[in-house]
Amino acid sequence: MNPIEKIQLGRTELRVTRLGFGSVPLGGLYEDPSEDDAGATVRRVLDLGINYFDTAPIYGFGKAETRLGRVLPKCDRESIVVATKVGYTLVPDEGERDPNVFHRFANVPPVRPVFDYSYDGIMKTFEGSLQRLNLSRVDILNIHDPDRNWVEAMGVVYPAIAKLRSEGVVRAIGVGMNQAEMLARFAREGDFDCLLVAGRYTLIDHTGLRELLPICERKHISVIIGGPYNSGILATGARPGATYNYLEAPPAIMERVAAIEAVCARHNVPLKAAALQFPLAHPAAAAIIPGARSVAEVDENFQLLSTSIPDDFWGELRHLNLLPPEAPTPSLSQAATGSGS
């Protein structure tokens, strides 16, 4: 599979590389890369020809955006696609934390994120992102984690970001979530260009295949695949302490991954390569955005997506009921025709 093949995003004129860059690690998820390492990581992404950068204010409470903002403005702006999100506003940290907000970042600035789906909050968040990114515009603006806020998301946030799109301030709008069911509802009821689903269409979680991906394919809404390793287990394998959805993996998941690993061993296929390539076989999937905190991890993701995987490997997974029969799988013949245009 060609990591820098470019795919049209929805009905827009944007074209994103199959391999994108997820900036969560730049925010210091669990451990914090140095400023030098963060900068070198972003520059390596650009050197490889990857053009799609995904970020959000909550990633390191502004730190991921700031680190991207030290490098991306030096590029040809038309050569990159930058996506950020609205829904969390950063406010001064006064020692209070919302237990519903993710806080597993190291060395964060003296601010804290709060849910804010008001019109003024959305515009404030967007302006803050532009300042941290050191850009005059972003290409994609997503509603972030509206799990408990459907009414506000569709009644306030959606009209606000649609207005920004109509004014040309952003070129595409979408929604980013860790669930597929509500994303399917957004696909049905809104006019979105792309939807970002994290962890719900992977080698071991096929939830997105039931409704979300078919709807998006029919409506020409591009799906961006986040969380391809399901927070860890598809990178580490079924070893003690492996994580699934940021918690210790339950026995059923451990057994399933161990069975997939056995097939990987028989075909000499890296588990991580299979995890990155599988979701991109669906025609609705435009790009995948694994995170990376170092040059080595960027290089590894690039190599893994480039790795040839025999058709027999996918056939055996399907034969063992480790993949649903309706799930598309990558094909060597199709991969050979991919271009970097």
| Alpha helix ranges (H) inside 9-157 | 35-47, 63-68, 119-133, 150-152
Residue 59 annotated in active site: yes
Contact assessment for residue 31 and residue 311, using Cβ atoms and an 8 Å cutoff: no
Q: Which two tokens stand for residue 65?
A: 């955006």
- How far, CA to CA in Å, does 288 sit from each of 7, 15, 222, 224? 11, 13, 11, 6
Please tell me the predicted confidence (pLDDT) of residue 100. Answer: 66
pLDDT band at 337 (very low <50, low <70, confident <90, very high): very low
Residue type at 55?
Answer: T
Per-chain mean pLDDT for the chain: 94
- Rg (the chain; Cα; Å): 19
Mean pLDDT of 114-120: 94
Q: Is 150 helix (H, G, I), strand (E, B) or coil?
A: helix
Q: Would the pLDDT of 339 be above 50?
A: no
Q: Which among 85, 88, 139, 145 is annotated as catalytic? A: 85
pTM to 2 decimals?
Answer: 0.94
Contact assessment for residue 45 and residue 20, using Cβ atoms and an 8 Å cutoff: no
Q: Would the pLDDT of 334 be above 60?
A: no
pLDDT band at 30 (very low <50, low <70, confident <90, very high): confident
CA distance 212 to 221: 10
Q: What is the pLDDT of residues 283-315, one digit of tens each?
A: 999 999 999 999 999 999 999 999 999 999 999
Mean pLDDT of 143-164: 97
Virtual torsion, Cα 161, 162, 163, 167, nearest 10 deg: 100
Residue 6 annotated in active site: no
Contact assessment for residue 274 and residue 311, using Cβ atoms and an 8 Å cutoff: no
Mean pLDDT of 50-60: 97
| Domains of the chain and any CATH numbers | 6-327 (3.20.20.100)
Please tell me the predicted confidence (pLDDT) of residue 248. Answer: 95
Q: Which among 6, 32, 59, 201 is annotated as catalytic? A: 59
Residue 85 annotated in active site: yes
Beta-carbon-side half-sphere exposure of residue 163 (alpha carbons within 13 Å): 11
Q: What is the pLDDT of residues 209-268, one digit of tens each?
A: 999 999 999 999 999 999 999 989 999 999 999 999 989 999 999 999 999 999 999 999
Q: Which among 6, 32, 52, 54 is annotated as catalytic? A: 54
pLDDT band at 331 (very low <50, low <70, confident <90, very high): confident
Mean pLDDT of 33-45: 98
CA distance 186 to 182: 6
Q: What is the pLDDT of residues 71-110, one digit of tens each?
A: 999 999 999 999 999 999 999 988 777 666 766 899 999 9
pLDDT band at 333 (very low <50, low <70, confident <90, very high): low
Mean pLDDT of 328-332: 89
pLDDT > 90: what percent of the chain? 91
Please tell me the predicted confidence (pLDDT) of residue 332. Answer: 66
Please give the residue that has the higher pLDDT: either 130 or 337.
130
CB neighbours (10 Å) of residue 209?
20
Q: What is the pLDDT of residues 186-210, one digit of tens each?
A: 999 999 999 999 999 999 999 999 9
Contact assessment for residue 178 and residue 159, using Cβ atoms and an 8 Å cutoff: no
CA distance 310 to 332: 7
- What is the number of helices (H) and of strands (E) in the chain? 13, 14
Please tell me the predicted confidence (pLDDT) of residue 341. Answer: 38
- How far, CA to CA in Å, does 106 sit from each of 22, 65, 304? 17, 15, 28
Q: Is 244 helix (H, G, I), strand (E, B) or coil?
A: strand
Q: Largest Cα–Cα distance of the chain, in whole Å?
A: 57
Return the exposure string of 169-181: e unless at least 16 CB atoms fall within 10 Å of the residue's CB, then b. Answer: ebbbbbbbbbbbe
